[in-house]
Amino acid sequence: MLKNLTIINAKLANYREKQQIVINCAGIIEAIEPIKIEFNHQNNQDIFDVNGDYLSLGGIDLQINGGLGLAFPEIQEKDLDLLDKICDFLWQEGIDGFCPTIVTTSVKNIQRSLSTIDQFMSLQKQQSRQTSQILGVHLEGPFLNPQKKGAHPAEYLLTPSVEAIKFILGDYAHRVKIMTLAPELDPSDEVIPYLISQGIVVSLGHSQATDQDAKKAFQLGASMVTHAYNAMPSLHHRQPGLLGEAILNPKVYCGLIADGQHVCLTMIQILLRSSYYEQGVFLVSDALSPIGLGDGIYPWDDRQIEVKQGTARLADGTLSGTTWPLLVGVENLVKWGICTPDVAIAMATESPRKAINLSGISPGQPANLLRWNWDKKNQKLSWERL
Closest by CA position to 130, among listed 60, 58, 63: 58
Element of type H or E holding 233: none
Whether residues 42 and 128 share a domain: the answer is no
DSSP β-bridge partners for residue 10? 19
Distance CA 3, CA 246 (A): 47
Q: What's the CATH code of the domain at 30?
A: 2.30.40.10
Q: What integer pLDDT is reported at residue 38 of this predicted model?
A: 58
Q: Domain tally for the chain?
A: 2
Distance CA 142, CA 177 (A): 15
Neighbours of 349 (CB within 10 A): 30
Name the catalytic one among 79, 213, 286, 301. 286
Whether residues 64 and 47 share a domain: the answer is no
Residues 6+ apart with CB under 8 A from 51: 9
Whether residues 222 and 182 share a domain: the answer is yes
Please tell me whether residue 311 adopts helix, strand or coil conformation. Answer: strand
Whether residues 182 and 68 share a domain: the answer is yes
CB burial class (10 A; 0-12, 13-18, 19+) of residue 62? buried
User: Do residues 185 and 211 touch, judged by C-beta distance below 8 A?
Assistant: no
User: Do residues 211 and 238 touch, judged by C-beta distance below 8 A?
Assistant: no
Cα–Cα distances (Å) from 60 to 43, 67, 91, 261, 347, in that order, read 35, 15, 10, 21, 9
Closest by CA position to 214, among listed 253, 236, 182: 182
Whether residues 115 and 10 share a domain: the answer is no
Distance CA 124, CA 143 (A): 30
State the amino acid at position 200 in one-letter form: I
Compute, in degrees rounded to 10, the torsion defined by CA atoms 184, 188, 193, 199.
-70
Q: Which residues contribute to the annotated binding site for substrate?
A: 151, 230-231, 238, 262, 319-321
pTM of the model: 0.96
Whether residues 105 and 238 share a domain: the answer is yes
Q: Annotated catalytic, 286? A: yes
Whether residues 191 and 181 share a domain: the answer is yes
Q: Which residues contribute to the annotated binding site?
A: 140, 151, 206, 227, 230-231, 238, 262, 319-321
Whether residues 35 and 162 share a domain: the answer is no
Q: What integer pLDDT is reported at residue 41 of this predicted model?
A: 53
User: Do residues 280 and 292 touch, judged by C-beta distance below 8 A?
Assistant: no
Whether residues 374 and 345 share a domain: the answer is no
Distance CA 289, CA 292 (A): 8
Closest by CA position to 11, among listed 337, 334, 342: 342
Which stretches of the chain score pLDDT less than 50? 1
Q: Which residues contribute to the annotated binding site for Zn(2+)?
A: 140, 206, 227
pLDDT per residue over 348-361, tens digit each?
Answer: 999 999 999 999 99
pLDDT per residue over 47-61, tens digit each?
Answer: 999 999 999 999 999
Q: What's the CATH code of the domain at 311?
A: 3.20.20.140
Q: What integer pLDDT is reported at residue 2 of this predicted model?
A: 54
Domain range enclosing 46? 4-56+364-385
Neighbours of 385 (CB within 10 A): 12
User: Do residues 179 and 200 touch, judged by C-beta distance below 8 A?
Assistant: yes
Neighbours of 210 (CB within 10 A): 18
Residues 6+ apart with CB under 8 A from 208: 145, 147, 148, 182, 184, 232, 233
Q: Is the dihedral of CA 235, 240, 242, 243 positive or negative?
A: positive
Whether residues 28 and 117 share a domain: the answer is no
Closest by CA position to 385, among listed 93, 135, 128, 98: 93
Alpha helices (runs of H) in the chain, residue ranges in sequence order: 80-92, 107-124, 162-169, 191-197, 211-220, 241-248, 265-274, 326-335, 341-349, 351-355
Whether residues 19 and 47 share a domain: the answer is yes
DSSP, res 361 = S
Q: What integer pLDDT is reported at residue 1 of this predicted model?
A: 40
Cis before 250? omega within 30:
no
Whether residues 129 and 202 share a domain: the answer is yes
Per-position DSSP letters for 59-89, written without gaps between them = EEEEEE-EETTEEGGG--GGGHHHHHHHHHH
